[in-house]
Structure 1
Amino acid sequence: MTQPPSRTRFYLDKRNGKVMGVCAGIADYTGLDVTLVRIMFVSAVLMSGFSVLPLYFVAGFMADDQPRELALEDKEEQRFWQGVRASPTRTARDIRGRLRDIDRRLADIESYVTTENRSLAREIEDLR
């Protein structure tokens, strides 16, 4: 039995990549722009005297390809998962805050509907 693909794991992004998809995968994983990652990689290669280049190929051969079901078309969902990878604690705190806000709004609606509201009762009766 195989495990489902994880959104918090590094994958090669060959759909958006140029050579092996390593820079595109790093960009997807970190949330940085892929052009910026490529510029940083080329700079690192030139500054290291090409000693970083073998690491690129090792990563390209060792890392798994991004599964099709994880290819995100929705930019908001992509930003969400990049935020989860960058700071899971902050993401969990944000989600808790959103759920508290939804819970408060539902409580306000419930309070409005369940209290004695003659105009609302009259409107409901008119609909029948």
Structure 2
Amino acid sequence: MTNSVYTPETKKLFRSSTDRKLTGVCAGWADYLGVDPSMVRIAAVAGAVLSAGVVLPVYAAAALLTPDSADATAPAETAA
């Protein structure tokens, strides 16, 4: 008898450092959601236009609060 326990892979949300147009927020969200970055970018622009700019502060907050993927892959510095 096997004891198989499903452990789902946890995803982390990062801004993209390779596929960025402005800050990498849309590409990071697309990677997190598993969709094409162009679709997220189109949705962000459409949301900004249709909501009369309400999405822009949300995008700015996401750009400030979401860590960069380059920071996550860099080795941690050790304090001596």
Could you state the TM-score of these two structures normalised by the residue count of structure 1?
A: 0.47
Deviation at 1:68, TM superposition (A): 3.0
Alpha-carbon displacement from aligned partner over 1:47-70 (angstroms, at most 9, x marks no partner) = 10011101101110111111337x
Letter in 1 for 2:11: T
Distance 2:55 2:38 in 1: 18
Could you state the TM-score of these two structures normalised by the residue count of structure 2?
A: 0.73
Query: For the aligned residues, what is the CA RMSD?
Result: 1.7
2:62 aligns with one of 59, 62, 67 = 59
Unaligned runs of 5+ in 2: 1-8, 75-80
Total equivalences in the alignment: 64
Q: Does residue 25 of structure 1 match 2:28? A: yes
Q: Does residue 43 of structure 1 match 2:46? A: yes
Distance 2:40 2:10 in 1: 20
Inter-CA distance 65–7: structure 2 relative to 1 (3 Å threshold): farther
Letter in 2 for 1:42: V
Q: Which one scores higher on RCO, CA 8 angstroms, separation ≥ 6?
A: 2
Distance 1:49 1:12 in 2: 25
Report sequence identity in percent.
Answer: 34
Distance 1:58 1:15 in 2: 20
Q: 1 or 2, which has the higher helix percentage?
A: 1
Larger Rg: 1
